[in-house]
């Protein structure tokens, strides 16, 4: 897959490459400390990159799924944690832009805050007992009607970008007397009294995403903070934005590939007459890496490109979006494993980035659609179910 193919793609890739080079400088430090990379998001803010998926009508860059995916692949080469947490922000804005479920005035205001202030937005949906919201289930977080709006109480987990968010879209259950509980979403400013970030994030990989718990204890928001639910008449299609997740993991795998190739070209043990790149075993491992990346990139970006070029085929190829995520994350895991086998024990040193790539890509297994859900989508499509 040879990109860029357009001037816009080239523009976004160049911007992401420039940012990736800068954020890579402190990636190891933030990974080691589990600290949030505020300076990386400030760089993206100053470059206008945080408006990547904001519609152009509101001053954003208006990137389509392919353009945004190509950019995020390059950003992830610098720091996977930064790219993944930014993907949460980009994906939410993009889906809202596609479907327009929010009141126009509200969406326009949030978009302008993103463009002009670099405001960050993410969902706060996962909970300790609920697990992933993609599996269904009713939140334990509650929204209770009060005189001046809604009081929200609960705990949200895995809230990426938590230390830097301006807004969170919080899912909660409304319990009204005589009625079954209803799921609802509320746009909650993180500065609201009763909202606090509890720093619980200490994971194997993606350690700098700031995916801490958000605790809401009597946080009161106005009536208009309740977001439209099933009654919203959104008309767009949010499905292609799944491209961003796969692209992020492909970027990390690409960085692992580049590291392994450079190492093989430069490593000259005293017992060999040349670099280890001349060994057939090394060549075969690099070859497998190349094939895995080629396969995943072809599906992730090829599907996004076809989606844009052939609107009439979207329902027929929608399963390929799940296939792209499945291949990108699983192939990235295999790529980093092979890269470690090329490099050997040196790759396990904390002073080298390869062990971070190896850890970071494993986070992709937990992101929707998880492998079992993706395979179900693919299998049903093939069986006509």
Per-residue pLDDT tens over the stretch 266-316? 999 998 999 999 999 999 999 999 999 999 999 999 999 999 999 999 999
Does the residue 1 lie in any domain? Answer: no
Grade residue 230 by pLDDT with cuts at 50, 70 and 90. low
State whether 280 and 370 are in the same domain.
yes
CATH number, position 136: 2.40.110.10
Does the residue 52 lie in any domain? Answer: yes
Peptide bond into 4 cis (omega under 30): yes
d(CA 361, CA 325): 12
State whether 142 and 105 are in the same domain.
no
d(CA 133, CA 91): 16
State whether 97 and 136 are in the same domain.
no
Does the residue 152 lie in any domain? Answer: yes
Q: Span 306-334, mean pLDDT? A: 98
Q: Span 217-244, mean pLDDT? A: 86
Sign (positive or negative) of CA dihedral 33, 38, 43, 49: positive
State whether 211 and 266 are in the same domain.
no
Does the residue 234 lie in any domain? Answer: no
Does the residue 321 lie in any domain? Answer: yes
pLDDT tens-digit series, residues 34-91: 999 999 999 999 999 999 999 999 999 999 999 999 999 999 999 999 999 999 999 9
Does the residue 94 lie in any domain? Answer: yes
Domain boundary among 227, 260, 290: 227
Q: Are 61 and 54 in contact (CB under 8 A)?
A: yes
Domain that holds residue 365: 239-383
C-alpha distances out from residue 103 to 110, 222, 224, 369, Å: 11, 15, 10, 29
State whether 267 and 185 are in the same domain.
no
pLDDT tens-digit series, residues 88-138: 999 999 999 999 999 999 999 999 999 999 999 999 999 998 766 666 678
Residues 6 or more apart from 102 whose CB is under 8 A from it? 96, 110, 227, 228, 232
Does the residue 2 lie in any domain? Answer: no
State whether 362 and 270 are in the same domain.
yes
Asked whether the predicted pLDDT for residue 233 surpasses 60, the reply is no
State whether 279 and 202 are in the same domain.
no
Domain boundary among 206, 227, 248: 227
CATH number, position 319: 1.20.140.10
How many domains does one find in the chain? Answer: 3
Average pLDDT over the chain reads: 96
State whether 255 and 302 are in the same domain.
yes
State whether 212 and 244 are in the same domain.
no
Does the residue 233 lie in any domain? Answer: no
State whether 112 and 148 are in the same domain.
no
Domain boundary among 77, 99, 118: 118
CATH number, position 94: 1.10.540.10
State whether 27 and 73 are in the same domain.
yes
State whether 140 and 94 are in the same domain.
no
């Amino acid at each position: 897959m040879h990109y860029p193919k357009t001037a816009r793609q080239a523009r976004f890739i160049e911007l992401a490459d420039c940012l990736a080079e800068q954020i890579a400088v402190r990636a190891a430090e933030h990974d080691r400390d589990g600290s949030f990379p505020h300076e990386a998001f400030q760089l993206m803010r100053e470059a206008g990159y945080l408006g990547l998926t904001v519609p152009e009508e509101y001053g954003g860059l208006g990137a389509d799924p392919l353009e945004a995916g190509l950019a995020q692949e390059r950003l992830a080469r610098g720091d996977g944690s930064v790219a993944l947490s930014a993907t949460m922000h980009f994906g939410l804005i993009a889906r809202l832009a596609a479907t327009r479920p929010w009141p126009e005035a509200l969406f326009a205001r949030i978009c302008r805050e993103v463009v002009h202030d670099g405001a960050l937005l993410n969902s706060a949906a996962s909970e300790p007992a609920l697990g992933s919201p993609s599996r269904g289930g009713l939140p334990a977080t509650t929204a209770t009607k009060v005189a001046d709006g809604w009081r929200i109480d609960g705990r949200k987990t895995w809230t990426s970008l938590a230390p830097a968010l301006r807004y969170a879209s919080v899912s909660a259950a409304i319990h009204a007397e005589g009625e079954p509980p209803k799921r609802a979403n509320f746009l909650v400013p993180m500065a609201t009294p009763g909202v606090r970030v509890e720093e619980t994030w200490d994971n194997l990989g993606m350690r700098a995403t700031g995916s801490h718990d958000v605790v809401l204890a009597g946080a009161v928001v106005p009536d208009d903070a309740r977001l439209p639910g099933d009654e919203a008449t959104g008309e767009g299609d949010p499905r292609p934005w799944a491209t961003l997740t796969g692209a992020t993991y492909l970027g990390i795998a690409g960085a692992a590939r580049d590291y392994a190739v450079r190492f093989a070209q430069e490593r000259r043990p005293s017992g060999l007459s040349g670099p280890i790149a001349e060994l057939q075993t090394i060549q075969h491992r690099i070859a497998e890496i190349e094939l895995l990346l080629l396969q995943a990139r072809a599906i992730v970006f090829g599907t996004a490109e076809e989606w844009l070029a052939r609107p009439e085929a979207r329902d027929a190829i929608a399963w390929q979006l799940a296939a792209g995520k499945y291949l990108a994350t699983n192939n990235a895991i295999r790529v980093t494993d092979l890269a470690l086998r090329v490099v050997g024990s040196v790759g396990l040193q904390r002073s080298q980035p390869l062990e971070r790539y190896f850890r970071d890509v494993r986070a992709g297994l937990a992101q929707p659609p998880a492998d079992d859900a993706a395979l179900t989508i693919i299998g049903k499509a093939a069986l006509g179910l």
